[in-house]
Structure 1
């Protein structure tokens, strides 16, 4: 075990005040903010840092506009951090700071950090779920929640010009585990010290709505249940934060791949912010799968995008422990799903 998940993300933004207000409304704890920077925290101790995009402390720009400029992964011990650094130094330049943290630029353009981090335990009280044939909550109501309280940063998502190569770098040099492959769209992987279905997702930047090359797509925060997701969504809408992104699926939805309930909000910090609940949890006994992207994307949605609404969605899932499915999608080769992918446009009726 080494990487425990996202320790912090640093956003470079054009309006610190507006972007800080977004995180307060979203449910993060404000640890202090001013006109140039803001720091916010979730229950696990992971932090979101907002900085002016011209702040000299930020790494060089690798994306256009607002977005994550640096992702810092938390490592459980100093010894494990040093082991990771020794391997990384064989392939990339690594810079150290006075506290021993390590920073480098991944081949796909991401600026990445490693820091020793003690992740805090998260306390959640789940409501038992009743079904007609199985009563688990007798003479007891569900919790009456007042707002969403994000507990974890579950994952970050980036566009990559070579999403297979991006995954392989993290596999070979950071110990990430392959979770699932949405064929033609992207690869999901988890850090070796986590159980969430994925800690990072690389999306194919050849998709019609994607930027050229490296880019930031969204960041997801773990909540307890569907009630918390929808209460958070209601609050964000009431406070003027919109849900119009290409990932929105018309509102609250559930992925088939990962099983997660999700709701995206347009994020002034860049990309989208996601409320995320009831995801699959995995360990090293998990066998990865390769999915048709149409089948993987949605189990249900508040408003099903037209490309997922037909009767021709293929129930196409293969076990893929040997990563054989990657061969058809390596950079420079013809994508066998390109005709379907070309149906996507950058409006809110087409989601992945």
Structure 2
């Protein structure tokens, strides 16, 4: 069975016009807009859907207060695989089905999800070769020069989870997600079986002092062609008055450690979360061996402006291959809920909230 990636994300918002303006400025193609909704469709076919709070199409009960991503719709490759996933989910949680065949449930951590058959669209993505002093693949050739940033895909979504190990294992058990990497005590990265981006979803540990004590949306990342497009998008968003969510902590444009991705975060209106421009991430398949990292190296980013706990000569460049998942044991919970967090992990208080 195979999920291809995020088919749609459904946002509940207060100010529909302001959120529509944000995503238009961000570079998402607007498919339709009305008094009660706005829909953006990317080249891959993925959609960002904005609905006003109280709309009957939003999950009920609301998974968390305020604006944000309220439901993730995963695209499944075939109808038979959708049926297998629905049957598997139904053995553990309540499952409903819409008239169009969309399957819906709420995960044990509180996350509403949906599944539907999806014909993911092929699209053109192009980046210029990178010259170095010793190799010149772009010889007698100027770089691609872009006039606007256009997101092509939804690369991943990120949520706070009160039981991040359990959240991953639920997705693995019923939806076939693959374990990619573990930032110990911070979160688990996993990819959909039919996707190759380093991760399709990341669950952040609610035990972190920066985290809420309940399920909540954190951010969504969009695939861009290269660093030029990320820089262009950042410049456009700044010129239009949107705040860089990383301004005081991660130094704007930088590169994540675990996934190698270049990034830039923007704050959404209404404290709804963050939108990430994302480029040059690692692409992996089932030959990838999961790794476990010390959270100071593996959890966040490479940046001279990162919080001091993530910088310096004493940062452990420690990684262990973790196919046996031995790293999960200290963070496994029988029941979700806050646990005391001590030592180095507690020192993250007030640090950057941006997970990879």
User: TM bucket by the smaller chain?
Assistant: over 0.9
Q: In structure 2, what is the Cα distance between the partners aligned to 1:332 and 1:95?
A: 26
Q: Partners in 1 of 2:128 and 2:157 — Cα distance?
A: 27
Matched length = 351
Q: Quick check: 1:291 aligned with 2:293?
A: yes
Answer yes or no: is the 8 Å Cα contact 2:162–2:213 preserved in 1.
Answer: yes
User: Following TM superposition, where does structure 1 have runs of at least 4 consecutive aligned residues deviating by more than 4 angstroms?
Assistant: 245-248, 332-337
Question: Are residues 1:343 and 2:347 paired?
Answer: yes
Query: Aligned equivalents of 1:274 and 1:248: distance in 2?
Result: 15
Aligned residue number for residue 153 of structure 2: 152
Contact 1:155/1:198 (CA < 8 Å) preserved in 2? yes
5+ residue gaps, structure 2: none
Match of 2:326 in 1: 324
Q: 243-252 or 161-170: which moved more?
A: 243-252
1:121-173 CA distances to partner (integer Å, 9 max, x unpaired)? 12112211111111111011111111111010000000000000000000111
Q: Deviation at 1:246?
A: 8.9
2: CA distance, partners of 1:332 / 1:89: 21
| Residue 338 (structure 1) shift | 3.4
TM-score, length-normalised on structure 2? Answer: 0.94
User: Secondary structure of the residue that 2:269 maps to in structure 1?
Assistant: coil
**Equivalent position of 2:122 in the other structure:** 121
**Residue aligned with 1:342, SS:** helix
Match of 1:282 in 2: 284
Query: Under a length normalisation based on structure 1, what TM-score does the superposition of the two structures give?
Result: 0.95
Residues 151 and 307 of structure 1: is their aligned pair in 2 closer, same or farther, counting only changes over 3 Å? same
Distance (Å, rounded) in 2 between the aligned partners of 1:69 and 1:336 = 28
CA distance in 1, matches of 2:7, 2:163: 25
Aligned twin of 1:3: 3
- Retained in 2: the 8 A contact 1:328–1:335? no
Alignment of 1:35-184 (within 5 A): 35-60=35-60, 61-184=62-185
CA change 1:13–1:302 in 2 (3 A) is: farther
Q: Which residue of 1 aligns with 2:217?
A: 216
Q: Distance in 2 between matches of 1:229 and 1:305?
A: 23
In structure 1, stretches of 5+ residues that fail to align are none
Q: Secondary structure at the match of 2:277?
A: strand
Closer/same/farther in 2, CA of residues 17 and 111 from structure 1, 3 Å limit: same
Query: How far is 1:296 from its partner?
Result: 1.4
> What CA distance in whole angstroms lies between the structure 2 residues aligned with 1:37 and 1:248?
34
Give the CA deviation at 1:245.
4.9
The Cα of 1:340 is off from its aligned counterpart by 1.9
Of 31-40 and 165-174, more deviation after overlay is shown by 31-40
Q: Which moved more, 1:56-65 or 1:7-16?
A: 56-65
Write the distance in 2 (CA, Å) between the matches of 1:188 and 1:327. 16
Q: SS at 2:169's partner residue?
A: helix
3-state SS of the aligned residue for 2:217? strand
Between 1:323-332 and 1:282-291, the stretch displaced more is 323-332
Is residue 2:37 matched to residue 1:33?
no
Mapped partners of 1:53, 1:247: distance in 2: 31
- How well do the aligned residues superpose, as a CA RMSD in angstroms? 1.9
- State the partner residue of 1:301: 303
Cα distance in 2 between the residues matched to 1:324 and 1:16: 45
Where does 1:224-239 land on structure 2 (aligned, <5 Å)? 224-239=225-240
- CA deviations over 1:317-337 (Å, ceiling 9, x no partner): 000011111001112799897
- The DSSP-based 3-state class of the residue aligned with 1:172 is helix
Instruction: Please say if residues 250 and 301 of structure 1, whose CA atoms lie closer than 8 Å, have aligned partners that are also in contact.
Output: yes
